[in-house]
Structure 1
Amino acid sequence: MIYINAENHIYGRLSAYVAKQLLQGEEVTIVNASKVVITGKRSYILDKFNHRRDIGSVRKGPYYPKTPDAILRRAIRGMLPVKTSHGLEAFKRCTVYSNIPKSLQNNDFIKVDRAININATGFITLGEISKILGEVNEQ
């Protein structure tokens, strides 16, 4: 069982690391998904997420998530072969939380060194994206 504190981790690099661990049979729990960062120009990132949300229809989809934990979980799902039984089982071993739940506060969390953000500027967090997309559930 791997516990990851995702605070100040880069979205894509963290997702790739977690997908690889899941395919190797590990169970992965990620906390602080609202503090994961996406590097790049803020306006471009927001336009990209708003464009994804506007594709399709309400009845037919595609359905893009608005909460930080669901956004990160969808990115991980995109890196797994979920149309096969092996990939689907791997995806089920992934758990993502927006914050640190009380039941997990006593665990030792790791940080993925190659996924840590070192930029002082030029990024936006999943929590900020979630607020802009219209998620009203704040914990």
Structure 2
Amino acid sequence: MCAESERTIYVDAKNHVLGRLSSHVAKLLLEGWRVIIVNAEKTVITGKKRSVKGDWQIFLGVRSRVHPRHTPRHYVRPDRVLKDVIKGMLPRKKPRGRDALHRLRVYIGVPDDYKSVRYEKFEDAMLRPGTRKHILLEDICREFGWGGS
């Protein structure tokens, strides 16, 4: 049990850029670390708000006209969106990728169990000062139907 807790990294996703954070986490998962991410809704997507929302609208509109049941699932909850981005960076058809995905936990907000934990921040994945064109993942998800918690 002690060895497992030493191999756990707690990440506060606040003010981290979505793709940069995801690539760091995917690499840690493949190295065998257990990663727990909190404040998933505070993750940032860079770009103009209008173009980011337009891209998400196109992405969420992808449907199968032939067989609607076979339409890909698109989530609008921030924790599921972040988990899906990380999932896309893992070789999930191979055992090591599937095992890596099982070691990932993503939460909206900070659960009571993790309030007294020291959180890691990836400096090169943080939103750079002076970046005006960005939008929170929470705002995107609310725009497309997430009720919030």
Is 2:74 the partner of 1:67? no
1:1-139 to 2 correspondence within 5 Å?
1-57=8-64, 58-118=68-128, 119-136=130-147, 138-139=148-149
Matched residue type, 2:36:
T
The separation in 2 between residues aligned to 1:63 and 1:104, in whole angstroms, is 29
**Is the partner of 2:45 in helix, strand or coil?**
strand
2:4 aligned partner: none
Return the letter of the residue paired with 1:135: W
Offset at 1:69? Answer: 0.5
Q: Mark the runs of 5 or more structure 2 residues left unpaired by the alignment.
A: 1-7
| CA RMSD across the alignment | 1.0
In structure 2, C-alpha distance between the alignment counterparts of 1:50 and 1:63, rounded to whole Å? 14
Runs of 4+ in 1 over 2 A off after TM superposition: none
Report the Cα distance in structure 1 between the residues aligned to 2:72 and 2:57, rounded to whole angstroms: 13
Helix, strand or coil at the partner of 2:41: helix
Q: How does the TM-score come out when normalised to structure 2?
A: 0.89
Larger radius of gyration: 2
Q: Provide the C-alpha distance between the structure 1 equivalents of 2:133 and 2:76, rounded to a whole number of angstroms.
A: 22
Code of the residue aligned with 2:146 in structure 1: it is: E
Q: 5+ residue gaps in structure 1?
A: none
Q: Which amino acid aligns with 1:130?
A: C
Q: In the aligned structure 2, how far is the partner of 1:19 from the partner of 1:96?
A: 13
Q: Deviation of residue 2 (structure 1)?
A: 0.2
TM-score by length of 1: 0.96
State the SS of the aligned residue for 2:90: coil
